[in-house]
Structures are given as structure tokens and as C-alpha cells.
Amino acid sequence: MCVVGARPNFMKVAPILRALAALASPLPTMLVHTGQHYDASMSDRLFEDLRLPRPDLNLEVGSGTHAVQTAEVMRRFEPLLDEYKPSCVLVVGDVNSTLACSLVAVKKGVRVVHVEAGLRSGDRSMPEEINRVLTDQISSRLYTTERSAEGNLLREGIEASRICFAGNVMIDSLHACRALARGPTETLHANGHDPTVLGDRHGFGVVTLHRPSNVDDAETLRTLLETLRQVSQRLPLIFALHPRTRANVERFGLSTLIDPGRMVLLPPQGYLEMIGLMSGAALVLTDSGGLQEETTALGVPCLTLRENTERPITVEQGTNTMVGRDRAAILKVVGDVLAGRGKRGRLPELWDGHASDRIATDLSDWLDNSAAAH
């Protein structure tokens, strides 16, 4: 039983389902969507872009406080395990749905398989960090995307025999969809914007922002938008705005900080649009986890507007630079990139488009072996 809940889950599960179906003896799967993300732009559209089959079940939990959302997923997920009796529950990433379903499964004696295990920012004020640590503790099989993750897991007392370094399934999706990516001109047209902004001297930058730590406090968001406005005077910026961020820009009265000649606001974009925008960009400014990885795979410089990352390999080997919210640091790195001194990086180990194949093979063997042992 594979679980998805929120936008960053969809690109991880799509290639895994395909790989499980492509095994010599295919593993039967069920796809459960918790409904944590429910807007067409945050969910349905990504299912289409990623060729994800429609979920077998949708729990339709929607939004709420962390406690309400997590509890509601748990309450609605539990009866499915009684009804369908899966041999394992496969969860990905670090969203509330990941932890909620893992917790239900482990307490009912159903094994949890975690894909993208062991990533740690070291920042326990981040809800995702709590979800990561707890999910890993109760998982029976843990697939990692980079070598540092294994060290993190071993330090937390997880036995080495449960861990498998498989590579990055996000990059499998990137490989599968890159040829279908929609060009930036088409995306701007489709959203009713004039694409001439793309032809600026240095090209354009792409921005996404949605972390509560960046967008939920009025002064923090104001400072960030002022910095981005300054960046936009050198490089036009295209923002794909998460609903949370859009609501806060309006609520805090910050819309006037957007320079309409240099900053284009778009609603959340589909996967094919985002890949197209990022591929064509001079740089990306983001607080997303996924974009840090995708820009590394695409060789596009990424400025991460956070103090820490759970994906250190994107900094050590890839194109990522942690700039926090420090205006001087941001303007300096932007200047470096525009002067042709941006990071080029290299592709990390096993980010080769075949992580899901390795996971499918290992998972199938692991299930066979554990069945034989019983």
C-alpha cells in the first residue's frame, strides 16, 4: 500500500509504482491519497503530468492544524489496513501524511517502508524534521538518497541491515518527464502574461517560497520580498506561489512590494511547467527541498533561502548555496551567477534515473525473504 498526501510525494511515488509493476513478478500495489493537498493545481494536475494512476482511495483530509491533520489521516487510514491487509505500507518524504500513516501501520503490526530516509536538517523547529526522525524510527526498510543519510540513521540507533542506499527517485521522475517539459514562453502565455520578460539580458530567475518560517511572519516575509524586489532589478523573477504564501502576501498587505514589470506571479504550476521553468532559468531561489535536488540534477544554480538543509549533497556536489535570508549574501551570490561564476556542480552518486528500479528489486526480495523467514 503506497501512500501520497502532498505535492512533493507525487513525483517520488510515480516512478516507484511503475518500477514495481515492471518487475518480472510484479508486486501488486494500492495507491492511497490522504488528500492533504487537494487543490487541482497542487494535486490532480501533478497526477496527470507524472502519469500517476488515479488513487484507489482518497481520504480527503484537507487542511488543518498539524494535530488535526495528522489525527484525521490516522483515523481514516486505520480501517484500510484491516480491510486490505497490505504486507507493507510504503511512505515517501517527510510530510504529515508520511508520519501519520507510518504510525498507524506500525501499531497494527504492518511493516513500514520509508523512501528518502535519513535526511536531517538538524532543525527540530521544522515540522518535517520531526516527521523524518519519527518515521525512520518506526520503519522496517529504509531507502536513502545520499550517503550522509546512512550516518544519520546509524547515529539514531537504526541497524545497518535495515538501510539500503538506492539513490534519488525524484531524479527518476525528472528523467521520465524532462522531454515533455513545457517551455517558459508557453507557461507565461498560458497564464496570461507577456513573455518578453524572459528575453532580459541575463534571462530570468525562478522563485518558490512556502516554508512557514519564511512566509508566516509579516516582517520576515516583507524583508524577503524586499530582497527579491532588489534581485528582480537585475534579473526578472517568475514566482510560482504556494496558496499559503499568496494568502499571506494579501493578508499582510505586501502586494505593493511586487514590481509587476520585473516580477511575474503565477499560481502553483504543474510538474512539466516547473521543470521547463527551472531548466530555462539563470538561477532558482527557493526554500523547497525538492527544488534543491532538481536544480542540482539540471545543473542550474540554486540559492536556498534557509539556514540549513537536510540535503547536504546538493551543496557539497551540486549547484546549491545556502543563503538564508541575508540580503547581502543573496545579492552577492546572484551577482556571482550573473557574472558567470555560478556553481555548476556534478550529479551525485546514484542520481541516475534508476533509483526506483533498485527499490523495486530490493523490496521484492525483502518481502520474499521475510515471508520465507515466517
Residues in the interface with ligand UD1 (CB under 6 A) total: 19
Which of 6, 163, 169, 285 touches ligand UD1 by CB under 6 A?
A: 6
Q: Which of residues 122-141 bind ligand UD1 (CB under 6 A)?
A: 127-128
Q: Does 165 bind ligand UD1 (CB under 6 A)?
A: no
Tell me if 100 contacts ligand UD1 by CB under 6 A: no
In the complex with ligand UD1, the residue whose CB is nearer, 95 or 272, is 95
Minimal distance, residue 326 CB to ligand UD1, in Å: 22
| Phi, psi at 173, each rounded to 5° | -65, -40
Binding mask 301-340 for ligand UD1 (x = CB under 6 A): ----------------------------------------
Q: Is 181 exposed, middle or buried (0-12, 13-18, 19+ CB in 10 A)?
A: buried
CB of 95 to ligand UD1, least distance (A): 3
Nearest of 357, 350, 349 to residue 16 by alpha carbon: 357
Cα distances (Å, whole numbers) of residue 309 to 35, 213, 304, 348: 27, 14, 8, 16
CB of 82 to ligand UD1, least distance (A): 25
Q: Whose Cβ is closer to ligand UD1: residue 120's or residue 242's?
A: 242
Active-site annotation holds for 210: yes
Taken as a whole, the chain contains a residue count of 374
Residues 244-263 that bind ligand UD1 (CB under 6 A): 244
Please, which of residues 27-46 interact with ligand UD1 by CB under 6 A? 36-39, 42
Using H for helix, E for strand and C for coil, what is the string for 118-186? Answer: CCCCCCCCCHHHHHHHHHHHCCCEEEECCHHHHHHHHHCCCCHHHEEECCCHHHHHHHHHHHHCCCHHH
Judged by CB, which is closer to ligand UD1: 44, or 186?
44
Q: Which residue has the cell 520578460?
A: 197
Stretch that binds ligand UD1, among 13-21, 93-101, 115-123, 252-260 (CB under 6 A): 93-101
AA identity, residue 246? R
Q: Does 63 engage in binding with ligand UD1 (CB under 6 A)? A: yes
- The answer for residues whose C-beta is within 8 angstroms of residue 88's C-beta and 6 or more apart is 1, 105, 110, 111, 112, 113, 140, 141, 363, 367
Residues at the site binding ligand UD1, with contacts judged by CB under 6 A: 6-8, 36-39, 42, 63, 69, 94-96, 127-128, 210, 242-244
